[in-house]
């Protein structure tokens, strides 16, 4: 299924639940700006049908995207990429700059600082 940002591929045999695969696909597309602010996502029913998933599975993915501030549901107008996603990205950039400055101030090497970040992202 083309979801406006490449093909959504579901691995039904994999360990990752289908709703998470859908969520990650759209989260990456939004983060990478393949889907710009205001872009409309397919309807829950249409995407579920195209992917061979239950409607509730896709609805859960969309709900989690909305809770993360990446999309917003506008009733009959559908689900669209939220402008909040850009502000979230800016907040993360600011936090990263602050972390980099603190790491340097404390005498950590770039490698040590990155190892700490990688460990934090794994949790």
Going by C-beta distance under 8 Å and a sequence separation of 6 or more, which residues neighbour residue 9? 21, 25
Residue 2: predicted pLDDT: 43
Residue 84: predicted pLDDT: 77
Residue 33: predicted pLDDT: 86
Residue 60's SS3 state is helix
Q: What is the pLDDT of residues 107-123, one digit of tens each?
A: 999 999 999 999 998 87
Q: What is the pLDDT of residues 80-106, one digit of tens each?
A: 999 876 677 778 888 999 999 999 999
Residue 1: predicted pLDDT: 44
Residue 32: predicted pLDDT: 85
Which conformational region is residue 52 in: left (phi greater than 0), alpha (psi within -120 to 50 degrees), or beta?
A: left
Global pTM value: 0.68
Going by C-beta distance under 8 Å and a sequence separation of 6 or more, which residues neighbour residue 121? none
> Is residue 4's pLDDT more than 60?
no
């Amino acid at each position: 299924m083309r979801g406006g940002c490449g093909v959504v591929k579901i691995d039904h045999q994999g360990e990752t639940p289908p709703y998470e695969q859908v969520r990650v696909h759209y989260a990456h597309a939004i983060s990478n700006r393949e889907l710009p602010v205001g872009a409309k996502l397919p309807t829950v029913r249409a995407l579920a049908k195209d992917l061979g998933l239950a409607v509730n599975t896709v609805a859960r993915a969309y709900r989690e995207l909305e809770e993360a501030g990446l999309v917003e549901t506008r009733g009959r107008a559908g689900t669209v990429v939220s402008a909040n996603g850009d502000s979230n990205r800016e907040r993360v950039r600011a936090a990263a700059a602050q972390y980099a400055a603190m790491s340097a101030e404390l005498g950590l090497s770039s490698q040590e600082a990155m190892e700490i970040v990688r460990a934090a992202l794994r949790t």
